Copies of this chain bind each other. A is one copy, B any other.
Amino acid sequence: MNFDQSQALFRRAAAVIPGGIYGHTTPAATVPGAVPYFAAEGFGCRYRDVDGNVFIDFMGGYGPLVLGYHHPEVEAAAHAARQLGAAFNHPTPLLVELAEKLTQRIDFADWAVFAKNGADLTNWSIMVAREVTGRPKILKIRGAYHGTAAWCTPGHGGLIPSDRVDIADFPFNDITALEALFAQHRGQVAGLILTPFHHPAFADSVLPTPEFVAACNRLCREHGALQILDDVRCGFRLTADGSHSLYGYKPDLAIYCKALANGHPISACVGRASHKAAASRVFLTGSYWSDPAPMAAALATLDIIAREQIPQRLALLGQRFVDGFLALGKKHGVDLIASGPPAMPYLRVKDDPSFMRTQALCTAIVAQGVFIHPHHNWFISAAMTEADIDEALRRIGIAFDSLPTTPHFAS
């Protein structure tokens, strides 16, 4: 497997783009030189890069492609809507249908709004919490990703002190720290924003303890703060009705994006009737937001997710993958740590603080045509069959065989 075309394109890109490729698709986030840099075509749960290499895709565009590339029903719905037009002066009836669909589907949701990026609505949600409460402070999980706005970006560039004077963070699952922040900022906390489970990059995923979920619910209620669930990455992958229902959160606002429309650009925020008037006072708009095609894609995707019990399917396929991957590690004498729900698993080599051995393993796996990421959780696709999982595992077995020595293959 070679990446000559990828690397030639990257040299062209580097001449006209800061960093060559920016954001979550930058090769620097994976293992430079060991992965493709440019995609050519996707089909089902596989894609081909610009050098003609084909991969079984365990990243799915970092989440959006829950049903795989080119799902026929989703694409037909989007295509039909696109024939109507785009970027109208007004919304189309699909706006109403999609808001009705989400409010029927999600138990606590009385209303919905739509944007393009998940971050459009995480940013808006903290303004809604401030408008509802008349308070400034936002509590967030340390290391959680909510977008690249100055109040929350994981980057370091371009920040100034005033960006975060009203943001306070604490470790996931740490009830004592959360209680301390509510006490420290008594009467000043507008909202708590968190992801359903903790899925940082460069670290294991962490599921919430029932006690932590209960504490979030109780403390927000006691202190009159809004609970904001950033379900951008997980939403509609773990359940068909929002991830709060799996873990027991009682959110006031929830934000969805990645799996909402199988890759078509749309995000959603839903909320409770008691906050609807305040939400209407926080101005929200964007150039392309009346575009009907992503709304049609979302309606189709939501139907398929419920009708075909996609979350259950992802969980079963994911469990098969994780079990098989762990067994291969055991067979080859490599201790592995698996974390996160099986539908969005993450595996790494144990006792590997530098990620060097995890990177070496991932590099060997990518070289066998299975695209996984060494530092970011993976995404099972509903376009996968058990045979695809087994084929991926077969190739991962070859990758283990190819490692120079085990268990210290990258030492």
Q: Residue-by-residue, is A282-310 near B (CB-CB < 8 Å gives 1, otherwise 0)?
A: 11111111110000000000000000000
**Contact for A281 among B41, B113, B157, CB less than 8 A:** B157
CA distance A116 to B85 in the complex (A): 18
A154 pairs with B283, CB closer than 8 A? yes
Main DSSP-derived SS at the A contact region: loop
Closest to A153 in B: B283
- Asked if A87 meets B263 with Cβ closer than 8 Å, knowing A63-B287, A119-B286, A162-B162, the reply is yes
CA distance A156 to B100 in the complex (A): 28
Q: Residue-by-residue, is A76-100 near B (CB-CB < 8 Å gives 1, otherwise 0)?
A: 0000000111111111110110011
Closest to A297 in B: B86
A21 pairs with B90, CB closer than 8 A? yes
Interface centre among A18, A128, A157, A232 (most CB of B within 10 A): A18
**Contact for A166 among B162, B265, B288, CB less than 8 A:** B162
Q: A277 interface residue, CB < 8 Å from B?
A: yes
Which one, A64-72, A237-245, A331-339, is touching chain B?
A64-72
B165 pairs with A162, CB closer than 8 A? yes
CA distance A95 to B20 in the complex (A): 10
Set of chain B residues within 8 Å of A149, measured between Cβ atoms: 123, 149
Distance in angstroms from A215 CB to nearest chain B CB is 26
CA distance A89 to B277 in the complex (A): 39
B118 pairs with A117, CB closer than 8 A? no
B265 pairs with A90, CB closer than 8 A? no
**Contact for A155 among B6, B92, B278, B283, CB less than 8 A:** B283
Q: A25 interface residue, CB < 8 Å from B?
A: yes
Interface centre among A21, A42, A149, A158 (most CB of B within 10 A): A158
Distance in angstroms from A344 CB to nearest chain B CB is 15
Which one, A9-17, A347-355, A392-400, A402-410, is touching chain B?
A9-17
**Contact for A287 among B57, B160, B232, B286, CB less than 8 A:** B232
A112 pairs with B16, CB closer than 8 A? yes
Closest to A125 in B: B158
CA distance A131 to B113 in the complex (A): 33
A283 pairs with B157, CB closer than 8 A? yes
- What number of copies of this chain does the assembly contain? 2
B160 pairs with A93, CB closer than 8 A? no
**A interface residues, tally (CB under 8 Å):** 107
- Asked if A87 meets B116 with Cβ closer than 8 Å, knowing A127-B157, A258-B287, the reply is no
Q: A362 interface residue, CB < 8 Å from B?
A: no
CA distance A264 to B89 in the complex (A): 14
- Asked if A257 meets B136 with Cβ closer than 8 Å, knowing A88-B47, A130-B158, the reply is no
CA distance A113 to B57 in the complex (A): 26
Q: A120 interface residue, CB < 8 Å from B?
A: yes
Q: A169 interface residue, CB < 8 Å from B?
A: no
Please name 10 pairs of A and B residues whose Cβ atoms are closer than 8 Å in the assembled complex, sorted by A.
A16-B96, A17-B113, A18-B276, A21-B90, A25-B89, A38-B91, A42-B85, A42-B86, A50-B92, A154-B283
Interface residues of A (CB under 8 A from B): 6, 9, 12-13, 16-19, 21-25, 36-43, 47, 49-50, 57, 59-65, 69-70, 83-93, 95-96, 99-100, 103, 110-113, 116-120, 123-124, 126-128, 130-131, 136, 148-150, 153-162, 165-166, 232, 257-258, 263-265, 267, 271, 276-291, 371
Going nearest first, the 4 A-B pairs with the smallest beta carbon separation are: A23-B285, A155-B283, A127-B158, A42-B85
